A = this chain, B = another copy of it.
């Protein structure tokens, strides 16, 4: 490590938190302690309060000294959901990145670790470029995190397996509830652009059934993801067919479903919505899409002068990303990507993004490894559910079960009469 720069390290967490984002934080700390700190190349490890908002503020108390944290306390932090350092939705522009770089220089930061999605990879990319232009030696490492599972170069991303486990267990319980009282049940699931999390509802079927007739599938009978154009009349026909045959219908719908022109259904049903800093209409934290779809079905399925079917909509909301009980695979991999980022730094690698590669897939022998990608390969662009994991306009393919089951882990087995 002789030719590595000597200075301090900083770690930040960004974007929507997950149930295992603190595993990644603790992984970076552990990896640094065993590597660069041990070798005398890193003097201090700082945590940014609320991501780049902290380090760009110029305020000293927005950087936390992580040195006093004992191994026992780190272990408890790792098992705590959501971002222990605080998170931010800020998406830095060039001027903002100048302030981040200034924060790094004034604190002698030489190693910059940022845990987040593709926006965070892009922040790392810009900051690294600016440092290079300024002749300031700084290495920026992006540590992957997102329940949306939409990072390129990755088989899957930390945070997704735990969220998928929540969505699966929720649909298992909810399917039994729906069967006991009947009627139509809509569940709205997070994932604005990528349908991976919505698709994971399919694991609730226990059986890998993929019958073309939705009424012959176990619940959820219908699954709608943003990757497949959503046509309101087809939706009505799908639900009608299942409900007429079974007297019930459980439906998993992504918050990001969009029409054939790529326009999101949510805002169309909701009227004008709140717009966030990225120019997106707020979809999460509101029951409006579910209520809008329920109202549409009620209108379409109530016979003239007849009784409306029982229709209910739940929006699973923030519990998907903060439910305290995590996937075992996810917790271990999130810790691993953090450690691997620190190892890349110890090994003298320049700025990079950590990736997850699947090396063995059977549920009893699932294995993964970590790799590195260029920041520009991961930054900004989103990954979508590939066509081979989907089937028709409202289902997943058998391959999806192969892909998702090992990540979610063992599920309870329920008995029916």
Contact = CB atoms under 8 A, between A and B. Distances in A.
A413 interface: yes
A401 interface: no
Contact of A318 (B85, B312, B322): B312
Interface in A296-321: 308, 311-319, 321
Interface centre among A169, A179, A322, by most B CB within 10 Å? A322
B288 A291 contact: yes
Contact of A180 (B87, B317, B417): B87
Interface string A258-300: 0000000000000000100000000011111011001000000
A218 interface: no
Interface residues of A, number: 62
Contacts of A19: 173
A79 B318 contact: no
Interface string A390-403: 00000000000000
A372 B101 CA distance: 72
A76 B82 CA distance: 34
Nearest to A172: B324
A84 interface: yes
Contacts of A85: 417
Given A81-B177, A287-B290, A312-B318, 6 more contacts: A50-B180, A64-B417, A76-B415, A79-B414, A84-B417, A85-B417
Interface of A: 13, 16-17, 19, 47, 50, 64, 73, 76-77, 79-89, 169-170, 172-174, 176-177, 179-181, 185, 274, 284-288, 290-291, 294, 308, 311-319, 321-325, 412-417
